[in-house]
Amino acid sequence: MADKQREENMGRYATDAGGGDFQPAPSGTFAAHCIRLIDLGTHHGEYQGKPTARNQVFIEFELPTELMDDGRPYTVGRFFTNSLSEKSNLRPLLESWRGKAFTIEELMKFDLENILGAPALITIVHESKDGKTKAKIAGVAKLPKGFECPPKTVKPQAFWIEEWNSEIFDGLSDFFQDMIKKSDEYKERMTPQTPGTHPDPLDDDIPF
């Protein structure tokens, strides 16, 4: 049962089975582009006294009309469990973004990477904690008809542990690199092969 659950929660396909920047993005509703998708792997925790294992992803947006002091557009992102179950946070956000609910057939074959580079209308709220203000994505919606989002300033990028790309990994912040290294998938990837087994063809890309 554990192996089946892990299989359902791995990879770039969200399943039907169940930032603290110095300059936080401004609050309000803005046109944006999805510029980054990071597979953070499976992490363990506890909920209501029971152990949990969640495959997590980080989705980041660029706000091309809102610029920081250095002239670069603000970015804002949010963590999600990589699941499209009815109780997930990711599924309602995606349905609001696309403007319609998923059909059963769409859920079975939805590739999460489809969102990469896509325009959106995002709502940002500010939260204060320990004297710091953080920007939080409160909602994502489809752009109104006839409305266009200004061009992206960066090339959209996805990182998947099972499709390891050392160049992209090395470009991630220390925070994301450390989180990925703590995942089940990364640890399994770095486990030495048992004598007599065949190496993973992707092992040549592992940054030893």
pTM of the shown model: 0.81
Name beta bridge partners: 34: 61
Please list, in sequence order, all residues whose beta carbon lies within 8 angstroms of the beta carbon of residue 93, skipping any fewer than 6 positions away.
80, 139, 140
CA distance 135 to 27: 7
Q: What is the pLDDT of residues 154-168, one digit of tens each?
A: 999 999 999 999 999
Residues of the chain with pLDDT > 70, as a percent, come to: 82
Give the up-direction half-sphere exposure of residue 49: CA atoms within 13 A in the CB hemisphere. 0
Q: What is the pLDDT of residues 21-43, one digit of tens each?
A: 468 999 999 999 999 999 999 99
Contact criterion met (CB below 8 Å) for 156 and 116:
yes
Residue-level pLDDT at 140: 97
